[in-house]
Amino acid sequence: MTFLQKFFRFILPLGLIVCAVFLVVAMGMMSSGKRPAREQASQPAILVDAVRAEARSLNLVVNSQGAVRPRTETTLVSEVGGKVVAVSENFVAGGFFRAGDVLLRIDPSDYETAVKRAQAALASRQAKLADEQARATQAEKDWRNLGRQGNPPDLVLRKPQLADAQANVLAAEADLEKARRDLERTAISVPYDGLLSEKRVDVGQFVSPGTQLGVSFAVDSAEIRLPLSSSDLAFLDLPRATDKQPEDYPEVSLQAEVAGTTKTWAARLIRTEGVLDANSRVLYAVAEVRDPYGLLGESTQDELRMGTFVRAAIEGRFVDNVVVLPRFVLSNDNTVLVANAERELEVRDVQVARAEPREVYLTGGVAAGELVITTNLDAAIPGTRLLISGDSPAADTTAATAQDANGSGS
């Protein structure tokens, strides 16, 4: 018997019987309604960084900036002409001087001569006045001696001549005062303690009235003009422009980079300029730093040089129970990403009290103690499982268990 004959006679019938049995069993299992258990695929958690929200009560801060400038600055100008014959050792750029110190002196010779001439003229006219007074007295006596009645005429009493002599004396006194003032003006000084910022003349140079000699500024205080927008003004309690009580104005903290180091100075707003700038539509407030160079013994702060560009943090209004977060966690649509107790992602709408370049202050939408996501997520899908960086394994296991329980219950 050949193999093909054996196949059709014995093997093929046996195979058909086995297939039929398998088909019957499979149909029986399907009819019973039992399905094989499938393992549920778990969503992978995303590793993110987060900060815990903290509620605070604080004064809001309004940021601005400006350059330090002197409160009083003077361009020294010659009031008389002549040659510069002496210059103080402090008459140099950066030189410190006290109020009344002579910074330079113009040749006083001609002005001393003018004083002597004025004194001589005054003496001569005083003598003339005395002579006229004597003549007037004698004229009145003569009138009486002649037995004439009534008051003598003004011409008899030489009253016009006497008035002319008195006027000449007054003119001579005025000339003497002017000559003395011109002599005083040959010594150049200023009425405050200060520094010289610019020197424009030196010894031997001839100056005429109106010649600029240098530039000086007072060192008792420095001022910084700080621009404030209308949105900034909403967070500041500024007194009215007519209020002159400095203690009512907010305190200001100044910062600047000096020689690679960040230094700070305490200041206070002393006034507002009272008008909005026509171009930028901002209001300028002026902050003051007392004794910026520490030369007067009024300050223990670091030296604050004129011209320094500073950042200013102005103390604003007091707010209670606000959540402070990094500025970058706030999206343009005023939402933040929050990890809930089950470590799932939530997109929260928040109420913003104030947004600053570095921080944002929230009055609603996020509670104290909640975890706010600081990692930038390209696609923020609510319900996404999260793994918080720095969480303990126990916390991750608890969150995963809660997630699985919720999934199985549904």
Mean pLDDT of 24-41: 58
13-17, 50-54, 196-200: which range is least confident on average? 13-17
- Measure the CA–CA gap between 313 and 66, rounded to whole angstroms: 11
pLDDT of residue 191: 94
Maximum mean pLDDT: which of 6-10, 52-56, 196-200: 196-200
Contact predicate 82/187, CB 8 Å: no
Q: Which one is predicted more confidently, 72 or 13?
A: 72
126-140, 212-226, 232-246, 289-303: which range is least confident on average? 232-246
Could you give the percent of the chain with pLDDT greater than 70?
A: 83
Using 50, 70 and 90 to split pLDDT, how confident is the model at 91?
Answer: very high
Residue 169 has pLDDT above 50, yes or no: yes
pLDDT of residue 204: 94
Interacting residues of 118 by C-beta distance below 8 A, sequence separation 6+: 172, 175, 176, 178, 179, 180
Q: How many helices (H) and strands (E) does the chain have?
A: 6, 22
25-39, 134-148, 384-398: which range is least confident on average? 25-39
Residue 122 has pLDDT above 80, yes or no: yes
**Is the pTM above the cut of 0.85?**
no
